[in-house]
Amino acid sequence: MPLSAVEEEECIHLLKHSVLFKECTHGELKKLSRLATKRQHKKGDVLCREGEPQTKFYLMSEGQIVREKSNATGEVHRIDTYLGHSTVGSLHVPKKDPAYATSVCITDVTAYEIEADDLIREIKTNPDFYWNVVCSLTLEVRRHTRAQRTPLLEQHGKKPPIFAISLAASIESFYRSALNSLLNQALTGVRATTLFPNMHIQLPTRVMYINGFKLLRQYFDVNIKPEEYSNPTAVRLAAAITPGIIMTPVSSILEACNAGHANPEALYTRWMRGIVPRCGREVIFGVGLNQLSDWYEERVPDFDFLVQYPALKNALGSMAAGVTSGYLSHVVHNMSTLKLMNPNKTYRQHFREYVNKSEARVPTNLPPTARSLAKVFVATVFPTGVMIRTSQIVGSFIILNGIIGAVSRYDIKNKDS
């Protein structure tokens, strides 16, 4: 039964968004749509079975399918359907190749079907159509070969203006202060009197701190040439961790501002408490904010809407880096905070007390030795306050990288115009 005018336009739309026909003209797609048949499929119907010749392909109008592939041991795996967009089987149809996976309807499905012989005939008899199909495929291949895959330590940062960095740091300083106060409260049990203590010190210090991370990275990117050394990987690693080491004293002042309710020492003394584990935390923070955020952003899939909205791709990269950095830095952060809050105890005492707080989360029926090991495991792998700390880092990375990126793009756009 021929398609109605509305169905024909829908079929043309689906063809235009498929891998095989993106570069084809409206007239070519209209001609191809007249070869299509619209059919209904029930939930559980198999559109094509793995290993069997692909004698037709489908354009999904309504409903959902999954593609399942069996390996040599009989395990069944789901196959990503992103590349195929709204089509099923179109890449196997030209030579009637065996289907790579079994396509099963998981809902009721409405689909347009085009027979392989009809498509092959169109390709053989219409040189322009054949050429546009080739161009469609090369365009898709080219898009996938453009994927950026720079190694972590070889990431080179953007060069944002100092104004962009300072604006981002100013806004982020309030978010960070509030979350840090909540984290200290969860860790020590001492109620915070305010979420924004000593902001007259925190705000300019945070601006200097974030500028330090970004500008040091720029300086090292420009002036250090790892390939000129006998061990370039070691040089790249040193360049990545050095900003965190240099900025540790600045971070210590920020931390000391949040600890006055528990440690009555003067600020000029208090800032040095817990500086050793804090240095480790700052190294992780610096690599996360700089190299790791860029590394994750590169690896966010190039979906059409992400290409159109680079800020969203930046946010996803920053979020992934924030989760990683927040988790990895959590134990050293807790140790530095505990030492800052109570400098009279040694790190050994703090760690023992910190581990003992996890006792309630360990099963009581374990033998004593196993129970002791389990407490250490829980305290380090599932640390106290990990969600607050991770949320803090995720939010900080999204705010900092997002605002810096937005202001930088705006600045570039104005220069171009």
Q: Report the DSSP pairing between strands 46-48 and 56-62.
A: unpaired
Residues 6+ apart with CB under 8 A from 212: 243, 246, 247, 250
Neighbour count for residue 132 (Cβ, 10 Å) = 19
pLDDT of residue 249: 95
Kindly report the pTM of this predicted structure. 0.74
> Are 3 and 34 contacting, i.e. CB atoms less than 8 angstroms apart?
yes
CA distance 148 to 39: 41
- The region, left, alpha or beta by phi > 0 then psi within -120 to 50, assigned to residue 103 is beta
State the Cα–Cα distance between residues 168 and 183, nearest whole angstrom: 22
Q: What is the pLDDT of residue 222?
A: 92
- Compute the Cα dihedral for 319, 321, 324, 325 and give only its sign: negative
For strand 37-41 and strand 65-70, is the pairing parallel, antiparallel, or unpaired? unpaired
Which residue numbers in the chain have pLDDT < 50?
none
Number of H helices, E strands in the chain: 17, 8
pLDDT at 364: 85
Cβ–Cβ < 8 Å for 203, 173: yes
Per-residue pLDDT at 217: 96
For residue 208, give the H/E element and its range.
Answer: helix 199-223
Which phi-psi region, left, alpha or beta, contains residue 274 (left: φ > 0; alpha: ψ -120 to 50)? Answer: left
Cα torsion angle, 67, 70, 74, 76, sign: negative
pLDDT tens per residue across span 334-344: 999 999 999 99
Dig out the tokens for 414 from the structure: 């104005």
Tell me what pLDDT residue 395 has. Answer: 94
Rounded to 10 degrees, what is the CA torsion of 172, 178, 180, 184?
A: 180
Q: Are 154 and 236 in contact (CB under 8 A)?
A: yes
